[in-house]
Each structure stands twice: as structure tokens, then as C-alpha cells.
Amino acid sequence: MPLLGSGEKTTDPENTTPTSESKPEHRPHAWTLKTTLNEVLETVRAHLGEDGPKPKFDDVCPYDISETQENMLWEHETTRLMGAVDACGMRTGLRFESYGKFQQDDSKSSYERLASLADQIMLNLHICILDNELLLWKSKEKLSHKNARQMSKEILQSRLDNPKSAHKTAREDSEDVSEESFLESYFAMVDYLTAVVARFGVSAAEEGAWQRRVLAGLAKSSAKLKILARKPDTYVTRSIDAIRRYETEQRVKGVFDNSKTRLPEQGPTHLGHMQDVGDGGWEFDGMPMMNAAPLQHMHREGEPSQYAKELEVMVEVQDDSEDPYLSDMADAFSWVSSTLRSLVYYLMAGSPLDSFEISTVTYRGGTTDTPFPVYMHQDRNSELHGSSDPDFIKHAYLGYVLAKQAVEEVQKEHEQNASVNYRPKLKQDENGSGTVITFQIRERCEDPNNDTVVDLSPVNLTNLAQIITVMIPVLLTSPEIISVLRSSLSSLGGLLSIDVEEQLTPRSPSFTAVVSIHTRTFQKNSPSSLPGAEFRSLSQSLLAHSDRQVSHSRIPTGTAAWSSIPADEVQQRLHEVQERRARLAADGQDWDIDEMAVRVKCVSYVYSVLGIAGFLVAGGLAAAFTIGDRVEGVDPFNIASFSWLLAGFLILIAKSIRVTEWPWRDFLLGRVTCRSLSELRAVTSANEQDLILYLLTKEPESVLITRGPYNRLFTRKEEQAFAGGFSIDIKPEVRTLVAAGLIFVVVALRHGTALVCLDLRRGSEKRDTRTSIAHTGEEQTTVCRYPPKPSDKEKVQDAVLNHLPMDQPVVWNRVLGFYHSPERKVR
């Protein structure tokens, strides 16, 4: 996969091994640590307030630990995390310590072991969540989330009822795994997980208040996760018993309180009765009396907005007259638990466990004068999430940097192994899963020649330790983790009256990047790898190859044809396209755009036409006077008349050949009014696909109203059939739409396939547009019900967008991949 915009050749990642060749030096921003160890420890012990003890989050004393031991654990974990974030401004990478059996070669059994370990961490995370939600319920009920409480309780109860229903526990996956070996592996996993998250959180904002909360929350969670690993089944029972006791107390209290209230009389429309509805509380006239707060967790598991809404509610419910301690700590607890839960979930998701691709791409869309970043993520379940929000992508940059550092650590290990002739037990082409990581990033400068470029791909991951080292940082580029981070920062800004955009947004350069971790098993099993497939996974799509999004008559889009062109020739052609688009952007500054037309200045053209016409007239007159009576039977002024006629005909042709109507006033003023895309192309001589890209990119700030026949993807449209508007009468190509942020995804229907459009253009986050797609869903607009196949290219078949009735939407049951027919026309 070539670097974004570089046009470099690709090599087969399966046949490439890491080398010790020198690579471009890339030094990311050194984030400043704005807090100290003592300040973090004060936040850890914030429950020991001057005005008396307060509720203690992540309390481990109920799990056979004394307060003295608890304090020692907190100090140890805080010191460890401070060391992780204070190393050389976080420029150096973290390496997962390969304790226990993590040197196991890359194979399906390695992924099963990783899933088992992640499953145990997830179980203990739900204990932490249930305990903290119970604490909030007791202390300030409106801060507690009933649905989260109920979900964790049900998961823990299910584990007790069916201990074999989930992944095998890490203790059971091998007969010779001792308790000590398990705990050693578990602790190493928790240490690396929390250290990476600490770097991610601290680098998100150079604000001491935020960094203290990040480190304190992670230190307490890390300590509790380790304590809970000693007797997981016993502690699950203890946590469930605690919340059941309180639920019983609340039900009894509810009955007692209700007995003091006069019940309404029964009648034909009002039964006036009360009944017990179980754990949910008592019900009165069909309305729950207990726990009636709005549910905050109604979104699907894994959806980016799910955890973000938990954090947003913190600002809404806080009361300035009350102690902000609970709101403050609840915010930190929600961010830590949500982030760790998302990471751990994707460590064990998927079936089979060693068949997956996790990719994140950020490419540069738009025009040369109005570029914007486009972000796309493919998760382990092959669901897709996108964004073009600049602040969102700034936070994604943090994950890219951590992923880069992790890949560098793995490369160092490969180089060390090569120096001692180390070879893994399983070869990449035999029984292993064939896990490969690719990473490329380009940090842009004003002068493209000074861009910082890093290409660390492809790298084979030969053992489980290397897989863990890389996978966790890659997962930090996922949208739900970024959304939770942004919501938590926004909540903190509300608590402390801080300008979030100015003080709580990370520093990030303009960049493009690709990071992808995938297995050979995925490539074997995925339909996107089949010859002639109409779709591709994210790492193989046009999004990851932005240099193939350009429209150039001498640039092929096929992978085989592209690879056959010398790199220098590709670079030259890409440079020609960039210069062509730069000229269009410069010319576009002089256009006058109104609701119905684009007015273009063409003074040189008009003067040239008038000059030629004047020359013809002057020549005719000169000939008439020169010839005079010298030629018998010839009226010299007939020559002058003919020259006048010829000049008039020339002007008439010049006025009509490019546009349908050109008023004389506009012509004499040196301007032409274009009422269609084809007229604009004829007048400017610009590339038609560049013009479509320009108009789509500029649409958010333009007053231009478009009409058919091919304006389906424009948002400012004239709905009336015979009304005015600027006619889009040229079909856009798929690659042009990708460059504009309009991305077509192939979905599987009950019978056949369809195309669904994701709209990631500038400002899409402010419009009601589809920016993500799950395996099940439906759509009525911007759908191609019968997409043409790649083999239909010679039939010149277009992708036709349909507007379906509300009662007949396209319903799909799986996302297959990104539509891969770059030159296909869309209408």
C-alpha cells in the first residue's frame, strides 16, 4: 500500500520482512506533563476531604484489602503511570513486557489466549462499573446510570450462572498454567493497557486538572483490576450481593413511603393499584416509581455515541450549590471505564478470532485552496465509522502517534532477533495467522518538499507480545474512544469554565495517515480478496490510496496497471494534476457565483475575438481603398462588406460555441454567465471532474442552487422540475466523489447487493447525514439498488442513485466493503 499521496510502489506485505534500513526521522510533538506525582496522589485520595470523608470510587477494601494496603497499591500504580507518561515527553515507545506465555508464536491459539485474558479483564471491569454505579446511586442518584448498572449486573450474573458460556478463562486454557503464571500475565496486560491509555489521555490536553484526573482514575482502576483477579468468582458474587441488598432496601423504603400516600380512587380509566415489578422497582399505574431517571445507555454496544452521552449528562446534572466532588470523580470514572471497556472488547471480538482487519485512514479531501481531512475507521467487526470534523481528527492523531511508536518497538525487536539469527517457530506462510501491521503518515508543511514522511510498513508480528504491543495503540484511533475522550474534555471544560477548543484540544499538524493490522486468515476468508470483487476492505480501498483519486487520462486505476508504471512517472503525473487543480482554485477566486449561475471573467477571450474581427474589418477596408478602381468589374467596397460580414459571423460563432446564451452587455464587459457545468467546462477549459470536486467542496459556503440531471449528491437543490438553477449535466466519477468525501459502501441484501453513500464532506457533522454504517440497517436516499459490476465496465453502465419510498427502504444484513470501481460514473 503506497503512502498517501506519494505514488510509491507497493509490495506484498506477506512477502516482506523488516529490515534495518534507515527511515526518515519523525519527531512528534513533545506533550508537556502539567502535573506532579504529589498532585495526582492528592486526587487519588480526594475522598479524604478537609470537611470529612466522601464516597470513595474504585474502593478495594470490600475485597479483602486493608486501607493501608490500598494506599500502597495506589501509590505504586500512580508512580508507574507517571513514569510511563514522563519518559522524554512521551517521544519514546512503550513495549509490552513479555511475561508468561506471551512469547507464543502468532497463531489462532495465541488469539484465543488473548481473548481469554481480555475476557477476564472485562469481567473485572464490570465489577468496577457496578460498584461505582452503586456508589453514585447511594450518594447522588441523578449521576448514576440505571441502564449501565443493570447491564453490568446481568453480565456478572450470567457469568455466575454459565461460567463456560464465554471464552475459556485464562486459568483454564492450559492445564499447566499455574495461578502465579496467570496473575503474572494478567498484571502485565493491565500494566500495558493502562500505560498506553495514560499516554493517550495525558496528551489529549496540556491542562493539569485534566491530566490529574486521567492518571488518578487509571491508577485506581488498575489497582482494583489487579485485586479482583485473585478471586474473580467470589468477588463477582460479593459485588452482586451488595447491589441486591441496596435494591431491596430501596423497595422496602418505597413501600413504606407509598403507604403514607393516599391512593386515588379506582375508576373505569384509573385502576389505582401498585405492584412489584421485580428488580426494576415498584410500579404505580404502569409507571415505574423507582429509578425513573432517563436511561443513558440505550445505544447499541460499540456505537460511538453510547459512552459519550454518559459523560455529557455530568454537566447537565451538576448543581453549583453542591460539592462538585461527585460530578468531578464520576466524570473521570466514566472516561476510564468506557475507554478500557472499548479496548478490551475489541481484543476479544470477532469469529474466528484470528480473522480480522482493523484499519484507520485519514486522507486529504477537497480542493487545493479548501482542503479538509477525512477520517474513516473499519473496526474488528468490519463496521465503518467516518468523520470530517477537524477537532475529532486532531484527537485521532494521538492514536496514530502511539501506533507509530509501538511499530517502531516491534521493528527494534526484529532487528535484535536478526542480529542473533532468531527465527520464530511458525513461519508466516505455514500454520501462523500471518498478522501484519502497516503504518504510514505524512505531516504536511507549506512547502510539500519539507513534508515529514514515515513509512514503517509492512511489519510481520511474530508472537503474541508483538500483537498486543501494536493492537492496543491502533485501537485508540477508533471513533468511540475518541468520542468518549472529547465528551469528557467537554464535561471538564464545563466544570472548570475552561475554553475547550483553545485549552483542551490537542496540538496536531495537518497530516494524512494509514494504519492497518490484519491477518492472512482474514485475507483468505474475506470476499473482498476474491478476483473481480466489486468491493475492498479499507486498507485496500481508494481511501487508503488517495493518489488514485485523481482524474488523469494517463493514470490507470487498476492495481496491476498501477504497479507497472515507474514511480517517477507516477509522481510527474500526480504533480500535473496538482498544478491543474491549483490553477482552477486560483481562477475560481475571480468567479461570481449566485443562486442560478456562475459568472466567469473572460476579458482576454473577448478582446481576442474583437481583435480578430477588427482586423478583418480593417483589412477589408484597407483592401477596398488600396484596390480602388485598379481592377475592372470589381467593386472594392464589396470586399469591405464581406469582411464586415465575416467579422460578424466570427463574433456570432464565438458567442455561441461555448454557452447557450451570452447577452451583448456581458460580452462587451468581458464576462460570461454559465448556467450548466458543461458551459463552465467549455469556458474555463478545466477538467470536468475537477470542476465537480470544486463545486462539491465549495457547496457549504456557496449560494449556488443546482438542478439535474446529475445533481443527486448536491445538498442545495432546486426541487421544482422547471425552475431555474445551475445544471449539473456531467456525471461524476466514483474517485471524484471519494476526493469530495462521498464514499460508497457495498452492503449485502437478502437478494443481491446495493450501494449506500456515506457523506463525510465539510460540515457533515452539522447535517443529518450518514457518516457510519453497521451490519444491519436501512436507507431510503442516496442508494444504488443495482450496482454495476466491475466486469460491466465495457458496457458503460453507470451507478444509478435511487430515491426509494419511505415504506420500501433498502434493508441490509452485512457490510461488505468499499465500492471499488474508480472510473465508474454516478447519476
Percent of the chain exceeding pLDDT 90 equals 29
Question: Are 331 and 491 a contacting pair, CB within 8 Å?
Answer: yes
Please tell me the distance from the alpha carbon of residue 185 to that of residue 120, in angstroms, as a whole number: 12
Q: What is the pLDDT of residue 284?
A: 35
For residue 670, the SS3 value is: coil
Q: What is the pLDDT of residue 287?
A: 34
Q: What is the pLDDT of residue 777?
A: 84
Q: Lowest-confidence range among 12-26, 637-651, 754-768?
A: 12-26
Compare 519 and 420 and report the one with higher pLDDT: 519
Q: What is the pLDDT of residue 538?
A: 92
Confidence of residue 200 (pLDDT cuts 50, 70, 90): very high
Q: What are φ and ψ of residue 34, in 5° steps?
A: -100, 15
Q: Which three cell numbers stand for residue 523?
A: 485475507
In the predicted structure, residue 321 carries a pLDDT above the cut 70: no
For residue 288, the SS3 value is: strand
Q: Which three cell numbers stand for residue 20?
A: 534495518
pLDDT of 609-650, one tens digit each?
888 888 888 877 777 777 666 666 666 677 778 888 888 888
Q: What are φ and ψ of residue 165, in 5° steps?
A: -75, -30
Q: What is the pLDDT of residue 547?
A: 67
Q: What is the pLDDT of residue 10?
A: 39
Confidence of residue 420 (pLDDT cuts 50, 70, 90): low
Q: Is 535 exposed, middle or buried (0-12, 13-18, 19+ CB in 10 A)?
A: buried
Residue 117: name the closest of 217, 220, 188 by CA.
Answer: 188
Compare 54 and 795 and report the one with higher pLDDT: 54
Q: What is the pLDDT of residue 303?
A: 45
In the predicted structure, residue 5 carries a pLDDT above the cut 50: no
Q: What is the pLDDT of residue 417?
A: 74
Q: What is the pLDDT of residue 87?
A: 59
Residues 6+ apart with CB under 8 A from 750: 811, 813
In the predicted structure, residue 14 carries a pLDDT above the cut 60: no
Q: What is the pLDDT of residue 98?
A: 63
For residue 397, the SS3 value is: helix
Instruction: State the number of CA atoms in the 13 A half-sphere of 418 facing the CB.
Output: 11
**Domain coordinates of the chain in residue numbers?**
42-88+108-245+299-524, 603-669, 733-827
In the predicted structure, residue 183 carries a pLDDT above the cut 70: yes
For residue 772, the SS3 value is: strand
Q: What is the pLDDT of residue 677?
A: 93
Q: What is the pLDDT of residue 625?
A: 72
- The stretch 85-103 carries a mean pLDDT of 69
- The stretch 687-693 carries a mean pLDDT of 92
Q: What is the pLDDT of residue 723?
A: 63
Q: What is the pLDDT of residue 668?
A: 87
The mean of the pLDDT values for the chain is: 79
Q: Lowest-confidence range among 298-302, 432-436, 496-500, 746-750?
A: 298-302
In the predicted structure, residue 457 carries a pLDDT above the cut 90: no
Q: What is the pLDDT of residue 89?
A: 56
